[in-house]
């Protein structure tokens, strides 16, 4: 029996975060970002533990002061001292699976700065440090002795053998190439070996403005073993309309490996947000599922309440909480991109 990657909606020990320290990721917004992050941490600690990466002891003292000023219960924080390049734990953190004995194991995929940025070498070590802190074994995902590049935001999974990803992110032959020469079949083999996946659903493109080149966690997410939330852009003149409708067609009539038909629920997109003539990848689908809550990014947009209502209907046993993300999205990602679940 192989590994099994649990779904995000399965029981969690906590959430892995890295407190921001790189102001260049949020130009002109860094002070606001730090307090937005404090609010994010505070919301999580109401429900579970936060494993919080800080760059050094001095940074830990500064962060602790901010958390204390916000009256956050520090008993819910487990600090991990590790210098990083960035704070996007979804992509550089370990993917934690259950092995054949139902014990936790950290899978270390390679990270190359989304095949776009040069400053990423510190982030390559995050899986090793986190696995050590959690006291769980670490396995490197390799093919012919070469580490396989994969970010957590490139995949979503239902815990029962099905994974969804995009061709744009993993199969494009020339733009932000992660693993040159990899085919669908090769990825399927890797996903089966390290994550226990027996069905891969390939969507097409991601949304406009996504500098990762097609991460699926902005467009399509499992909220139970047989249901996905898929972003929807109704404005036919918007670039994302064509992309998202093409993905809808790919999801029609899919039979899941667990025997059930895939259900697709549409989630509106917020109105377009631009910064310095560049579109930002704002999406409600970048929500984070906790044990008893869902945290959803909001954008001071009329669609905020509609999106919150959809999640409340889909997850009636969870509190659905909006977190203001207009500052966070300047960094080209929000709640899900910044975090990674640590299964129980």
- Indicate which residues carry an active-site annotation: 337
Contacts of 321 (CB under 8 A, 6+ apart): 43, 293, 294, 295, 296
Q: Number of H helices and number of E strands within the chain?
A: 9, 20
Residue 12, phi then psi, degrees to nearest 5 = -120, 150
Residue 243, phi then psi, degrees to nearest 5 = -60, -50
Per-residue CA distances from 81 to 56, 130, 284 (Å): 6, 10, 31
Interaxial angle between packed helices 30-45 and 57-69, expressed in degrees from 0 to 180 and rounded to the nearest 10:
70
Measured between alpha carbons, how far is 66 from 72 in angstroms, rounded to an integer?
9
Per-residue CA distances from 300 to 269, 316, 334 (Å): 13, 24, 14
The half-sphere exposure of 238 on its side-chain side, counting CA atoms within 13 A, is: 19
Question: Partners of 21 in the beta sheet?
Answer: none
* Contacts of range 129-135, beta carbons closer than 8 Å, 24 or more positions apart: 129/53, 129/80, 129/82, 130/16, 130/51, 130/53, 130/80, 130/93, 130/94, 130/106, 131/94, 131/106, 133/51, 133/78, 133/80, 134/51, 134/96, 134/104, 134/106, 134/342
Measured between alpha carbons, how far is 328 from 34 in angstroms, rounded to an integer?
9
């Amino acid at each position: 029996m192989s590994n099994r990657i649990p779904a995000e909606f399965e029981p969690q020990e906590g959430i892995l975060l890295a407190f921001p320290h790189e102001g260049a990721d949020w130009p002109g917004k860094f002070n606001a970002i730090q307090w937005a992050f404090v609010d994010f941490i505070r919301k999580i600690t109401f429900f579970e533990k936060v494993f919080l990466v800080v760059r050094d002891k001095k940074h830990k003292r500064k962060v602790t002061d901010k958390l204390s000023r916000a009256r956050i219960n520090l008993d819910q924080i487990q600090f991990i001292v590790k210098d990083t390049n960035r704070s996007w734990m979804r992509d550089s953190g370990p993917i934690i699976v259950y092995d054949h004995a139902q014990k936790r194991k950290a899978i270390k995929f390679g990270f190359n700065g989304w095949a776009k940025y040069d400053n990423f070498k510190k982030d390559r070590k995050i899986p090793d440090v986190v696995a050590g802190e959690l006291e769980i074994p670490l396995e490197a995902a390799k093919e012919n002795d070469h580490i396989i590049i994969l970010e957590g935001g490139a995949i979503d999974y239902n815990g029962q053998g099905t994974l969804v990803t995009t061709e744009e992110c993993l199969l494009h032959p020339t733009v932000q190439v992660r693993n040159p020469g990899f085919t669908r079949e090769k990825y399927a083999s890797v996903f089966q070996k390290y994550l226990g996946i027996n069905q891969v659903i390939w969507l097409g493109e991601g949304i406009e403005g996504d500098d990762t080149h097609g991460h699926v966690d902005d467009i399509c997410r499992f909220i139970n073993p047989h249901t996905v939330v898929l972003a929807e852009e109704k404005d036919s003149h918007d670039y994302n309309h064509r992309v998202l409708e093409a993905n809808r067609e790919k999801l029609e009539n899919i039979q899941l490996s667990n025997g059930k038909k895939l259900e697709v629920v549409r989630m509106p997109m917020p109105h377009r947000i631009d910064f310095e003539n560049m579109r930002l990848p704002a999406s409600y689908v970048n929500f984070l599922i906790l044990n008893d809550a869902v945290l959803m990014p909001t954008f001071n947009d009329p669609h905020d309440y509609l999106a919150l209502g959809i999640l409340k209907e889909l997850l009636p046993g969870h509190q659905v909480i909006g977190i203001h993300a207009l500052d966070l999205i300047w960094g080209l990602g929000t709640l899900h991109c910044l975090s990674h679940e640590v299964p129980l």
